[in-house]
Structure 1
Amino acid sequence: MLRAADDLLVERGFAALTMEGIAQRAGVAKQTIYRWWKSKVEILLDTLSDDAREALEWRVGEDDPHGDLKSHLQRVADFFEEPAGQVMQALLGHAQLDKDTAASLRDGFLREQRERDVAGLRAFLARSHDLSVDDRTVDRLVDLLLGPLHYRVLVLGKPIDEELVDTTARLVVTLARDSTH
């Protein structure tokens, strides 16, 4: 059912996605869908959370530290091109018009992903650069790390290129180092 929702969103867009269409694509009765989810937003939030958990995971590599951070940012860039990234974009767009969607998205997926990103960047800085950065600074560094990528995709509607990934990774590490002096 989650895969059917992903596929239909990519094929038809958010406005044309219906619970009936999801049920038909999944080969189940509409009542089965409604037993688990009240709306297409709820099913999309579940599919987003499931897909993003692995796709946006912070991974420990054996690469150079700058390369490890670039690899993570490239996974974020790739995520935006995948169906799950398109689900996220659709939900963020809908959240601008619907306060309940905005609250569900912020209180669920976005809060959880933010916690993973803060923990991931903190661990990366400690492991790769032996930097201990305070909570407030790590929080702001996550903004600086992910903000340019989100801006490029969500505001400008352009793909994320290697130069943006490289520059962003380099600047965030430099700012983390500077914050400890």
Structure 2
Amino acid sequence: MATPNPDRRSERARHAILEAALELCQEHTYGGLTMEGIAKRAGVGKQTIYRWWPSKAAILLEALQGRSSNTLNFPDTGDLRADLRSQMTQVVAAFTDPMFAAYSKGLIAAAQSDPDIANAVVTSIIKPRVDLCIDRLTSAQKDGDIRDDVDLPAMVELLYAPLYYRLLLHTRPVSEDQVDTILDLTIAGCGA
């Protein structure tokens, strides 16, 4: 009889822990999330969690990175508006996924009072996406689709800040229609 594969068992436990953290953060808040609660929901011991992650923020970051990996897809088809729309609608899909509530209810909220969490969110979630967007905008600027005098990091903020505004303040739903409006206004203001 074959013995169980410990790697497979660990991967199952890891997946259970990540899902438990997302579920509990969706049901409660980041403040109500505990290592004990995650362990209980995942069916593992706390020592297993502490072996892999130093904090609940680290667990949520890893879980969200897995869920939002498709938002790292940034096409360059030669059509700037279509490429931005494609990527931004992936962000809208992530923001409207109920499991992604851990990001807005949890990590962003916690980042307001914890510089380490803020740095981790920026480093692992925000910066890689900003860098890809700037790469795409740089290409568009070289192609003459964006004026040479446009500050590209500021343009990224113009594109994505309205999505975060609605996500965090619940003024209206984040939507694909919103993406179209953002693109119309931004491209009209920054286009060549």
TM-score (norm: length of structure 1):
0.80
Partner deviation per Cα, 1:3-34 (whole Å, 9 max, x = no partner) = 22112211222122111121222222110100
- CA pair 84-61 structure 1, distance change in 2 beyond 3 A: farther
Partner of 1:96: 112
Percentage of pairs with the same residue: 35
- CA pair 167-119 structure 1, distance change in 2 beyond 3 A: same
Alignment map for 1:69-108 (pairs within 5 Å):
69-83=84-98, 85-89=100-104, 90-108=106-124
Give 4+ residue runs of structure 1 displaced > 3 Å after superposition: 59-62, 64-68, 120-123, 129-136
- CA pair 126-99 structure 1, distance change in 2 beyond 3 A: closer
1:138 aligns with 2:156: no
Partner of 1:172: 186
SS in 1 for 2:151: helix
Alignment map for 1:1-181 (pairs within 5 Å):
1-59=17-75, 66-83=81-98, 85-89=100-104, 90-123=106-139, 125=140, 131=145, 137-178=151-192
Alignment RMSD (CA, Å): 2.8
Q: Which ranges of structure 1 fall in alignment gaps of 5 or more residues?
A: none
In the alignment, residue 79 of structure 1 is paired with which amino acid? A
- Between the aligned partners of 1:136 and 1:92, the Cα distance in structure 2 is 29
Answer whether contact 1:74 1:165 (CA < 8 A) is retained.
yes
- Between the aligned partners of 1:102 and 1:11, the Cα distance in structure 2 is 22
Answer whether contact 1:117 1:142 (CA < 8 A) is retained.
yes
| Post-superposition offset of 1:132 | 6.5
In the alignment, residue 164 of structure 2 is paired with which amino acid? H
Answer whether contact 2:21 2:60 (CA < 8 A) is retained.
yes
Partner deviation per Cα, 1:35-69 (whole Å, 9 max, x = no partner) = 0111101111111222222245224569x653443
In the alignment, residue 119 of structure 1 is paired with which amino acid? D
More displaced 10-residue stretch of structure 1: 18-27 or 109-118: 109-118
Q: Which ranges of structure 2 fall in alignment gaps of 5 or more residues?
A: 1-16
In the alignment, residue 149 of structure 1 is paired with which amino acid? L
Answer whether contact 2:61 2:121 (CA < 8 A) is retained.
yes
| Post-superposition offset of 1:142 | 0.8
